[in-house]
Amino acid sequence: MTKEEVFNKVKDIIVDQLDVDADKITMTTNFTEDLALDSLDVFEVIDKIEDEYDIEIETDKGMETVGDLVDYVFKQQTK
């Protein structure tokens, strides 16, 4: 799976879970500043991604942007 495929799936999950405009989501989109998400919103997204990719995301620390999350998921997939 490529990083672009991971990004597209993560973007789809964010759009589905939080009903945000897909056009607003890029690798540099900040969860709190650009999407006005709170920690519960981010948790919901992470929970869905864990289910989708059968991985465990230990913490949301350091995951401020969509790109941070995509990088983490991509690294888990390539282990």
Active-site amino acid positions? 38
* Nearest-angstrom CA–CA distance, 67 and 71: 6
Q: What angle is formed at CA 13 by the lines to CA 57 and CA 53, rounded to 5 degrees? A: 45
